[in-house]
């Protein structure tokens, strides 16, 4: 991870390397050394002296931004990264700024999800670092899930893993779930049953009404091979797309009703079609 412009951009333990250093650059090196020692307040005062000596050196602004970031002054750090970039475009500084934007996004997640998504989108827009981009996509996925956007968050995780074929698959499944006229159901609670792993695509399951169920008189049990594998989803947080709830299908299913497993959507919803 690079912080400083120079011959070795991936080593943030070294100060900037220049053939002939100005007084401001020498002071900037001193500030960087103090920063490396964890003496952030002294580093801050030193970099201020460097800028007083020469306020036209973009690297001085980059170092001041880094020290502000060390001190937790994220908004000030963002200002100084921008000043550095206004003077000289450096992808190292751009990537520094992008990492800071992710930090701000993570902080904002506790207060404003709308602001958090704005900052992480900015970070993704400007970075050229592959590892950073992977981390940013995971952060974006977490934020989107917190916003209740499960599918969008899941796609971010797939993009982070470069599973582009699965992204296309999820998009196609989403279109089907949102536009179908078929009687689809979600099978919930599969994790509580030993045989839930039998619910593979194409498997045929039996649907059995349970009017005496004390928890839900509309409950419909899902059996496969005579063993319980789950229940037809009957609450908003276990349904997706146009899938019908147990309450919606209880009066239309037959006594020997069967359904065919179609697919598992975003690794969460087992989707089946009434037969």
Mean pLDDT by 10 residues, the chain (275 residues): 50 60 93 97 97 94 97 97 96 97 96 97 96 97 97 98 97 95 92 70 94 93 90 92 94 93 94 95
At 200 the pLDDT is 86
Q: CATH number of the domain that 136 lies in? A: 1.25.40.10
Tokens of 209: 């009404």
Q: Do residues 115 and 146 share a domain?
A: yes
Q: Do residues 114 and 192 share a domain?
A: no
Residue 8 inside a domain? The answer is no
Q: How far apart are CA 85 and CA 93, in angstroms?
A: 7
Q: How far apart are CA 234 and CA 246, in angstroms?
A: 5
Residue 7 inside a domain? The answer is no
At 48 the pLDDT is 96
Residue 146 inside a domain? The answer is yes
Q: Do residues 145 and 218 share a domain?
A: no
Total of domains in the chain: 2
- Residue ending a domain, among 92, 125, 158, is 158
Q: CATH number of the domain that 254 lies in? A: 3.30.70.2330
Q: Do residues 94 and 137 share a domain?
A: yes
At 5 the pLDDT is 53
Q: Do residues 95 and 139 share a domain?
A: yes
At 7 the pLDDT is 41
Q: What DSSP element (H or E) covers 31?
A: helix 23-36
Residue 11 inside a domain? The answer is no
Burial environment of residue 200 by CB neighbours within 10 A (0 to 12, 13 to 18, 19 or more):
exposed
Q: Do residues 117 and 183 share a domain?
A: no
Residue 77 inside a domain? The answer is yes
- Residue ending a domain, among 127, 158, 189, is 158
Residue 252, φ and ψ in degrees, nearest 5: -110, -15
Residue 10 inside a domain? The answer is no
| Residue 239: count of CB within 10 angstroms of its CB | 20
- Residue ending a domain, among 126, 158, 190, is 158
Q: How far apart are CA 38 and CA 70, in angstroms?
A: 9
- Domain that residue 200 falls in: 177-274
Q: Do residues 188 and 128 share a domain?
A: no
């Amino acid at each position: 991870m690079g912080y400083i412009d120079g011959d070795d951009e991936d080593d943030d333990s070294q100060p900037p390397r220049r053939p002939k250093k100005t007084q401001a650059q020498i002071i900037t090196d001193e500030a960087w050394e103090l920063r490396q020692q964890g003496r952030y307040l002294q580093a801050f005062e030193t970099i201020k002296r460097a800028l007083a000596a020469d306020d036209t050196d973009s690297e001085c602004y980059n170092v001041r931004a880094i020290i502000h970031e060390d001190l937790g002054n994220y908004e000030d750090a963002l200002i100084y990264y921008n000043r550095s970039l206004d003077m000289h475009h450096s992808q190292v500084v751009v990537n520094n700024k992008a990492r800071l934007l992710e930090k701000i996004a993570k902080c904002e997640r506790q207060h404003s999800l709308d602001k958090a998504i704005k900052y992480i989108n900015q970070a993704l827009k400007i970075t050229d670092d592959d590892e950073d981009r992977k981390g940013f996509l995971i952060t974006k996925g977490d934020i989107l899930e917190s916003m209740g956007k499960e599918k969008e968050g899941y796609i971010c995780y797939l993009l982070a893993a470069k599973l582009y074929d699965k992204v296309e698959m999820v998009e196609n499944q989403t279109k089907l779930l949102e536009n179908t006229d078929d009687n689809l159901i979600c099978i919930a609670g599969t994790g509580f049953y030993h045989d839930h792993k039998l619910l593979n695509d194409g498997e045929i399951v039996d649907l059995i009404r349970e009017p005496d169920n004390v928890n839900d008189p509309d409950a419909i049990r899902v059996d496969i091979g005579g063993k319980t594998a789950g229940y037809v989803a009957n609450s908003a947080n276990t349904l997706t797309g146009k899938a019908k709830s147990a309450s919606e299908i209880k009066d239309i299913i037959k006594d020997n009703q069967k359904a065919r497993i179609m697919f598992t959507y975003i690794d969460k919803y087992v989707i089946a079609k009434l037969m």
